[in-house]
Copies of this chain bind each other. A is one copy, B any other.
Amino acid sequence: MSEKAIPYKIYLEEHEMPTQWYNVRADMKNKPAPLLNPGTLKPMTAGELGAVFCDELVKQELDDTTAHFDIPQEIRDFYKMYRPSPLVRAYCLEKELGTPAKIYYKFEGNNTSGSHKLNSAIAQAYYAKQQGLKGVTTETGAGQWGTALSMACAYLGLDCKVYMVKCSYEQKPFRREVMRTYGANVTPSPSETTNVGRKILAEHPGTTGSLGCAISEAVEDATTHEGYRYVLGSVLSQVLLHQSVIGLETKAALDKYGIKPDIIIGCAGGGSNLGGLISPFMGEKLRGENDYRIIAVEPASCPSLTRGKYAYDFCDTGMVCPLAKMYTLGSGFIPSANHAGGLRYHGMSSVLSQLYDDGLMEATSVEQTAVFDAATKFARVEGILPAPESSHAIKVAIDEALKCKATGEEKTIVFGLTGTGYFDMVAYGKYNDGEMQDYIPTDEDLAVGFAGLPKVDL
């Protein structure tokens, strides 16, 4: 490591910001399995995908050989409004823990969406605009993605329709107002406005919704209205491509100070943050240039990597989307309503699923109360009030730092702090009142989801 003193926050200069996204699939020997047409069980063609997604995004989705994609100038300009995000040295957390470990976090919460989601939202909205579309539809769980997309659409003058998972819609009324302030149309899901929504409501009248269900509604809306396409905030390979900006900035900031991380930690729901954060590091690992421990952290209540099956599955509850091969709990799995915030998705990005299956990264799951313990400790010493999702990574970063304290090792730990918790105060309130509950599905609970996995024989 260089002798240069490391500041609390490392900001890249504007001219040091990435000009290209990095596509980790290009360096993978075992490519992620292709998306399948749910009817024919054959790989989805560009034409078929084009009915749902913008053309340029379809190209990105299908391209697993091109390593670098230029970031269009208009997107780079938008990035300059809120990026580069700081890479923060957690001096205060280190001191609080009394650890010899060096802890860094890439903080993606300094924008109004409150998370990293904006990195892909602006890209997807941009390509929709380029294609001359009227607008886009999407789902949102915790609300960050919907807010991000609303912001991107407001900036570009596109119409934006958001299906918001009902329990989040009710727990986070202010999220809805932020989206409305950015001009979006927000509907709680399941809703009466789509066929699939009506069907789910008829079958499960009391449901608090799920991402899988909201996805189905948004896809139906897009494919039944002229001039609309569907966009998705996670899971897809195109999203990981856009989110690589997180990892590229992180790596550039570390390189500037000659720092090599030992452990890289990210929370994982659909995988957009984790995939983005680790991309360039995983690339080095795949090319044999460097080695890193990479840890995905998921909630014990929705443990797709740690307890799921690696299989083809529906991406959505309504089974209108392509099938993806991924670690999954089954599209019928709906996490307990006790579970706060995002990371509720039943499956995991195909890219990350393949990397995990190849033993290139680890995964662990953590319980909700322990996550809020870590979040509160972090907030009090580092100032930032973290999102519950991000706090999964904090929890494991603290655990790893405490292991270093026990062994005396001076490891360098980097984690992704994906966002802020300003809209999660209902959950924080429950925690503050000692009313937070943990939930771990039993094997029987999981069996229900697994039973619904489609039979795919390639």
Contacts and interface: CB of A to CB of B under 8 A. Distances in A.
Contacts of A173: 425
Q: What number of copies of this chain does the assembly contain?
A: 2
A387 B376 CA distance: 25
A258 interface: no
Contact of A182 (B151, B379, B420): B379
A287 interface: no
A381 B155 contact: yes
Interface residues of A, number: 43
Contact of A178 (B91, B111, B181, B385): B385
Contacts of A384: 111-112
Interface string A377-408: 00111111100000000000000000000000
Interface string A257-279: 00000000000000000000000
Nearest to A381: B155
B174 A80 contact: no
Contacts of A8: 14, 77, 80-81
A198 interface: no
A428 B155 contact: no
A193 to B, nearest CB: 20
A356 interface: no
A180 interface: yes
A383 B174 contact: no
A410 interface: no
A379 B183 CA distance: 11
B425 A177 contact: yes
Interface in A131-163: 151, 154-155
A149 to B, nearest CB: 13
B429 A154 contact: no
A154 B380 CA distance: 6
Contacts of A81: 8, 92, 382-383
A429 B177 CA distance: 6
Contact of A112 (B11, B183, B376, B383): B383
A69 interface: no
Top 9 nearest A-B pairs by Cβ distance? A174-B425, A8-B80, A177-B425, A154-B380, A7-B14, A422-B422, A112-B385, A177-B429, A180-B432
Given A112-B383, A112-B420, 14 more contacts: A11-B11, A81-B92, A81-B383, A110-B110, A112-B385, A154-B381, A174-B422, A174-B423, A178-B422, A180-B429, A180-B432, A181-B376, A181-B428, A183-B380
Interface of A: 7-9, 11, 13-14, 77, 80-82, 91-92, 110-112, 114, 151, 154-155, 173-174, 177-178, 180-183, 376, 379-385, 420, 422-423, 425-426, 428-429, 432
29 contacts: A7-B13, A7-B80, A8-B81, A9-B80, A11-B11, A81-B92, A81-B382, A81-B383, A111-B383, A112-B379, A112-B420, A151-B380, A151-B383, A155-B383, A174-B174, A174-B422, A174-B425, A178-B422, A178-B425, A178-B428, A180-B428, A180-B429, A181-B376, A181-B379, A181-B385, A181-B432, A182-B379, A183-B380, A422-B422
